[in-house]
Structure 1
Amino acid sequence: MPCSLERSKSWCEMSTDFHKLLFDISESLATSELAALKFLSLEYISKWKLEGIRRPQDFFKVLQEKNMIEAGNLSYLKELLFCISRIDLLETRLGSSREEVERELQIPGRAKVSAYRYLLFQLSEDITEDELNSFKFLLGKELPKCRLNPKAAMLDIFIEMEKKGILGEENLSKLKTLCANINVSLLKRIEEYELKFGEEEMIITEEQSGSTGSPEAHARWPVTSVASDAPGSWDESYQLEVYKMTSRPRGVCLILNNHNFAKAREAVPELRRMKDRNGTDVDAAALRRVFSKLHFTIAEYKDLTAEEIRKTVNIYKCEDHKDKDCFVCCILSHGKKGIIYGVDGQEVPIQELTTSFTGRNCRSLAGKPKVFFVQACQGDACQKGVTIETDSGEQDSCIETDARFQLDCIPTEADFLLGMATLQDYVSYRSTRQGTWYIQALCQHLEYSCPRGEDILTILTAVNQEVSRKTCMPNAEKQMPQPSFTLRKKLIFPVN
């Protein structure tokens, strides 16, 4: 009897913990995210039942009734949170990670959300407000007017199209026609899906010929008949996804431009030889020009102390970026390994600035690219010159070593890019008339390559090549920039 009571108590505790977990997750979900979860579950829950669900708690209750989630099996819940890019909940509530779920979904048949429905969800995420209105206008004769009201989202339109029989897994022709008229890039996404999963079906059919079984639900990644770790098993038809970059404006481009370091020279004796950063305004002007062309809102702050840098970053961390696709921060200052200086000579760790914009700290940027460009030295060695200065800010030939620096500055979370002007331990160079080698090369290549559809990593490789060819005389000193990133998709800044 005691054993029976003990087991009963254990089961009750587990059940309580499970329901508390679901409650905590539901409290963190927005109305639009609930709509997305409902849409992704349409293969398992009827439309009429989903229409009656108004709260995440009720949605989770239905999933339990369907045995889709239970205390010992949360794989479907993990997949749903992964699909809607709530990686923060995946990590903090379910103890999983993006990489773990991605590996799990690579296993054929393991994904429960169909490739077709996930495609529609991704399209809905990429469609702008103007494009949504165009869809409603073009569907005016085929869908009930009451379903095309101003509050109807793109997922609502997809559901109505399915009800009318003009959209389905094997019926994408109407959607393709609409996309061809509204946004050709959406059409290309559908065609890529058809190509990828048409080939997948053929492969599965060939593998199962002669068997009585039928293929399970599509995985969202290409399936091949070769073991994934075998030589030559890479699917050459695989193409990286591209981050959504359609909002106007794309996002904020925050420029922190420190020029006058008189306060540092007065306040910190060891920095008394720190120079003003003549030429930095040339860099700031180039960044303003380029990122304005790329449809970013420019926010420039000049000559900030360390505390003012922190307060400024906190302002943009707390902003609502939900209608924006990206965040860019350009830092122009003196620095040393892993830090930048405020104009008062106080230090701000680069990691502190980048970590402010993780999904946990800035939820409206979760799943979106966060890009940082840092023009500052990362070592204390100085190269003397007449018109060429370094951005170490100090006249000291001592160089420290710390091989872990670069890994510490960028968050381990996905969707970050950190472009450093120089390698760890080394100086970067600045012309007092023409600006810095790095920022000038970066702006020139962005201006040239973005209209040609080049992705940011290709552009940064070209920047590396150009800067590495420059030489600082008389001792033939060199500079090599270093990008670090956890991007999951191609990052392309469209000009149009």
Structure 2
Amino acid sequence: MDLENLLYQIAQQLDNPKLASLKFLSLDHIPQRKLESIQEPLDFFLTLKEKGMLAKDNLSFLKELLFHSQSLNLLIKFLNVSKEEMAKELQIPGKAQIDPYRVMLFQIFEDVSTEELKAFKFYLNQKISKEKLDHHATLLDIFVEMEKRDMLGKENLDLLKNIFGLVNQSLLKKIKAYEELNEERRMCPERNRDGCSNGEELFKNMTISNSSSRQKSELQTSDNVYRMESKPRGYCLIFNNYNFEKARKEVPKLAHMKDRNGTHIDAEALRKTFHGLHFEVLEFQDHPAKEICDTLEYYRKMDHSDKDCFICCILSHGDKGVIYGIDGQEAAISQLTSYFTGSKCPSLKDKPKIFFIQACQGDNCQKGVAVETDSEQQEAALEPVPPSQKHYIPDDADFLLGMATVNNYVSYRSPLDGTWYIQSLCKELRERCPRDDILTILTEVNKEVSSKDDKKNMGKQMPQPTFTLRKKLYFPLH
């Protein structure tokens, strides 16, 4: 198609937030005053053409804009360039046109949550007028305002670092990586002689600094890795069962079942972790077994076409092959996972479905005062797992089930610190994403949890992941 038709087709796919992203990434090439007057994508493209940055035989800047703004579907559909091809092209000296400084700021914008944005505005309220920090102002808007007031720049990142040191220290890693690599470049000016005139080598180092060589080679072929680019990535449901008074009253054999003190600590850790990984997190408190099933049925019927993943976390008491609702009724784990098979939930077909179950799968171990278990029994002989309960996930592709413990055994929960499994899981996800894939991360969780013990009674715990994944699964931070 000709250039005008191509630009028109792309413009039809750009909403206001995406246009704002493209304008921000173009700030070093188009004056801010000019960009402020642009309200339509076609006007933006016309400005690029006037600046000589867009022509029929020169689409490189447009490609780079779509790549950095995460408009990867447009990059592939209209420009026939994959994410991997674009990343490789930008590593060629002289190719990158968008400064690493602006890429770094945009990546921070992508990673900041709504609550963190509110906190960021709060810390600036004495420095920037209230109308510039209203609820409509995005982080990109604030970055521009800070640059106008000389509060932010390529060599002026102190205020940004100070605020994120209070709001979200993980974002300091991006700023630090930019500063270190920028300093290295300044100290080695001879690198400019090979054509690296606009920071592209610096961008190359920034974009690959958090990836292992193994991951980079795997990402060369998209067939090896699950797509994880949508925003949000998908739904993350958290079923958090604490109050088991109804179970104690209505089910005689569960009369001794305790409330799950400390479970709120796990729920909060999961919420923060998966929100930070760009999932839409929904928490459900104290659900009977039927309501858990009904909720999963509701999400089974939803259209997940614009999502890349589905996660369900269940924090409850349990026994072999089942979890308990707060009413003491059982829900088979195999039933809970089966709602999302390809035939029952077509919009999640070929996408990863992940379940994390924090519940005992057998009899209690004798416990000390400070550590409790998530089992329903006081003490009983171990019994073999019935055949019907051995398979927790469907005979269907793309499932991952992370169990807090293996068959027949308890899992441990501290009323003050949460469970060994969930706390370790969240810690490893925070520290290892996006460098490691999920199975590597769960192996580290196994290692960490199995090294713990109930000091008083020497009780141990061994988590167990089961999966039918067909590709590597990474959780990007941007």
When normalised by structure 1's length, the TM-score is 0.56
Structure 2 distance, partners of 1:141, 1:286, is 39
Structure 2 distance, partners of 1:60, 1:285, is 57
Structure 2 distance, partners of 1:121, 1:221, is 16
- 1:363-401: CA deviations, max 9, x gaps? xxxxxxx761389xxxxxxxxx98333676699xxxxxx
Query: Contact 1:131 / 1:182 at 8 angstroms: preserved in 2?
Result: yes
Q: 1:37 aligns with which of 1, 4, 22?
A: 22
Given residue 37 of structure 1, which amino acid in structure 2 is its aligned partner? Answer: L
Aligned to 1:372: 354
Aligned to 1:238: none
Equivalences for residues 23-422 of structure 1 within 5 A: 23-203=8-188, 205-208=189-192, 215-219=197-201, 220-222=203-205, 252-253=236-237, 290-291=266-267, 293-295=269-271, 296-298=281-283, 312-315=299-302, 317=304, 328-329=311-312, 349-350=341-342, 353=345, 356=348, 372-373=354-355, 387-389=383-385, 409-410=397-398, 419-420=400-401
- 1:315-350: CA deviations, max 9, x gaps? 26279x9xxx9852369999xxxxx9769xx99645
Structure 1 distance, partners of 2:263, 2:345, is 19
Query: Contact 2:24 / 2:140 at 8 angstroms: preserved in 1?
Result: yes
Aligned to 1:476: none
Aligned to 2:432: 455
Secondary structure of 1:253's counterpart equals: strand
Given residue 373 of structure 1, which amino acid in structure 2 is its aligned partner? Answer: F
Query: Contact 1:342 / 1:348 at 8 angstroms: preserved in 2?
Result: no
Structure 2 distance, partners of 1:351, 1:108, is 48
Q: Is 1:22 the equivalent of 2:7?
A: yes
Query: Contact 1:253 / 1:329 at 8 angstroms: preserved in 2?
Result: yes
Query: Contact 2:442 / 2:465 at 8 angstroms: preserved in 1?
Result: no
Structure 1 distance, partners of 2:387, 2:449, is 15
- 1:17-40: CA deviations, max 9, x gaps? x43332232222221111111000
Given residue 455 of structure 1, which amino acid in structure 2 is its aligned partner? Answer: R
When normalised by structure 2's length, the TM-score is 0.58
Q: 1:77 to 1:308 in 2, by over 3 A?
A: same
Unaligned runs of 5+ residues in structure 2 are 207-212, 218-227, 240-257, 272-280, 323-332, 358-380, 412-418, 452-463
Structure 2 distance, partners of 1:116, 1:49, is 21
Shift of 1:157: 1.3
Structure 2 distance, partners of 1:113, 1:25, is 20
Structure 1 distance, partners of 2:334, 2:69, is 38
Secondary structure of 1:419's counterpart equals: strand
Q: 1:314 to 1:193 in 2, by over 3 A?
A: farther
Given residue 75 of structure 1, which amino acid in structure 2 is its aligned partner? Answer: S
Question: What CA RMSD, in Å, does the superposition of the two structures yield over aligned residues?
Answer: 5.3
Unaligned runs of 5+ residues in structure 1 are 1-13, 224-229, 235-242, 256-281, 335-339, 362-369, 376-384, 396-404, 411-417, 423-427, 436-442, 470-478, 492-496
- Give the aligned length: 364
Query: Contact 1:197 / 1:222 at 8 angstroms: preserved in 2?
Result: no
Query: Contact 1:76 / 1:112 at 8 angstroms: preserved in 2?
Result: yes
Q: 1:19 to 1:464 in 2, by over 3 A?
A: farther
Structure 1 distance, partners of 2:339, 2:9, is 38
